[in-house]
A and B are shown apart, each in its own frame.
Chain A
């Protein structure tokens, strides 16, 4: 049996404008760690299609958020997570996790990874392939969770329990990336709107 809930969670505070010092010091302007963390999600041996994800975070006024930090967490191409709670195998070097920051001028961000496979949901029901994203920035008091889904997965998306829990199709569409074909490979565009028209759906997980 598990133990009862007897303590209370430490409250959140904003990451502030200088989150880079702690989590991406080179971007802050100095070199201190031998190895910065979160720069390679999939690793060299991961199977599956290599993709790039790009985007920008916008505030309520439509201005780009230029001090955001986003973390991604995803399964490998077979839908396995590198974690004992999953227990299924993943490729050596597959971390499933990475972090990326907004460009200080444009607010644009981008990361490279592999396309994830479908993953088990709460009751064994399969969920459509997706990448979990977590967003912090100055002015964000508690990190915002959301998900990126893939536009060509129409059948899987139509059956996905999270997407199905969003009744308004226009809001549902905020979680589905836009596919862009490029010579160097497929890019998915995923803009995040914190507030206002086309506000992204954020999750309480």
Chain B
């Protein structure tokens, strides 16, 4: 068992997911979504124990360097590119920090190439850069990674589709219903407005949440710029749950 197994956090069912914030399953500008989207409506169910619970993680699950992409795959040198700190807090919709959240990231290197057997882009691999990291949020919901700013790269969608530099984020909350995968973009990037994946989010204010902000307050002088990326997970409804009249 992890040390978080016995932590008592907020309880009860989650707020209904607001699908207007999320990309529709079928977004024709992102061609692959056409054949990979359900045509039938989702079946909305009342949450039971299996939805309000989920896997729990602690620092014991990961290694001490796992959140340092500048150091976790070096083979005799440093990775090449613009060194950055990307950091923020994981909150829920009730504006509470969410501690013990496993945050896993992956990204292309500074040239826009992924270390993946299926990526054949002509840009070079960096022998000192793996491109993945993971961490667990602290008591304040805070996380950080040291990494490189990823490069843009072309992908097969339209004939000249380019992904804006981005970092993939996978996030667990305290319940399986909070499970989320998303991507962080970088403030000021003109490719965001041209990207069919970023633009699959219909609400411009929702897309703003995926744009990491330059954070000069937390830059490391003579070392690295900082980018702020806060994450919000579904919150919990105030309710009396099962036979616990004390509620939450």
Contact = CB atoms under 8 A, between A and B. Distances in A.
Given A21-B131, A143-B181, A205-B47, A6 B201 contact: no
Contacts of B33: 14, 139-141
Interface in B19-53: 19, 21-25, 27, 30, 32-40, 42-53
A44 interface: no
B35 A201 contact: no
Contacts of B159: none
A23 B25 contact: no
A139 B95 contact: no
Residue with the highest number of chain A CB atoms closer than 10 Å, among B12, B34, B116: B116
A142 B51 CA distance: 17
A84 B5 contact: yes
Given A12-B23, A30-B130, A144-B38, A7 B92 contact: yes
A32 B130 CA distance: 7
A interface, size bucket: 35 or more
B111 to A, nearest CB: 15
A13 to B, nearest CB: 4
A48 interface: no
B12 to A, nearest CB: 7
Contacts of A142: 19, 22-23, 25
Contacts, number: 299
B238 A136 contact: no
Contact of B45 (A3, A13, A165): A165
B138 interface: no
Interface string A89-101: 0101001110000
Contacts of A84: 5-9
Interface in A1-42: 1-23, 25, 28-30, 32-35, 37
Contacts of B38: 144, 194-195, 199-200, 202
Interface of B: 1, 5-13, 15-19, 21-25, 27, 30, 32-40, 42-57, 61-63, 66, 72-73, 91-96, 102, 104-107, 114-119, 130-132, 134, 168, 170, 174-177, 179-183, 197-198, 200-201, 203, 206-207, 209-210, 231-239, 242-243, 247-248
9 contacts: A5-B93, A32-B132, A37-B102, A63-B35, A81-B49, A82-B56, A120-B242, A140-B37, A194-B35
